[in-house]
Amino acid sequence: MEKIDIISKLPYSKPFLFVDKIIRIDEDGVEGEFTFDEKLDFYKGHFKENPVTPGVILTEVMAQIGLVCLGVFLLNENISSISLIALTSTSIDFFKPVFPNEKVTVVSEKIYFRFGKLKCKVSMQNDKGEIVCSGIIAGMIV
């Protein structure tokens, strides 16, 4: 499956698509990128004088790249598109803020994929190579 095909099968669209590029993907994990455009709507009210990306959005980026993109790849020909994704658990630690116009890289390592449930160890780093946040994310793809 081509990397661009994976992005086209995601059940998201702008402004809620948080995957710009898949750098690498295989049965053990995925690495991808997203740049936070300063015009994203949540920046208008999240610390209005000094906008910062909300942690819930950072978690969503990690889930879209680290869990959903990998799930699409693992299911490969068994799907034409994903219609339902159920996030079942997250445990994320946050270390650094992400500001408007920053590009982040998400690296995900599969812990297991069985009975329709995918669990991954996921981390996000900024352009300086610093870990922004990391943790464990699990979900079911239907």
Separation CA 103–CA 100 (nearest Å): 9
Q: Is the pLDDT of residue 47 over 90?
A: no
Q: Which helix (H) or strand (E) holds 8?
A: helix 3-8
Within 10 Å of residue 50's Cβ, how many Cβ atoms? Answer: 8
User: According to the model, what pLDDT value does residue 57 have?
Assistant: 97
Separation CA 89–CA 91 (nearest Å): 7
Contact 8, 68 (CB under 8 A): no
**Mean of all residue pLDDT scores within the chain:** 91
List pLDDT tens digits, range 17-41: 999 999 999 999 999 999 999 999 9
- More confident position, 48 or 41: 41
For the chain, domains (ranges, CATH) are 3-141 (3.10.129.10)
Of these residues, 11, 21, 40, 46, which one is catalytic?
46
Give the pTM: 0.91
The C-alpha torsion from 78 through 81 and 84 to 85, rounded to 10°, is: 80
Q: 85 Cβ partners below 8 Å, 6+ apart?
A: 11, 68, 71, 139, 140, 141, 142
State yes or no: is 48 an active-site residue.
no
List pLDDT tens digits, range 49-94: 889 999 999 999 999 999 999 999 998 755 555 556 788 999 999 9
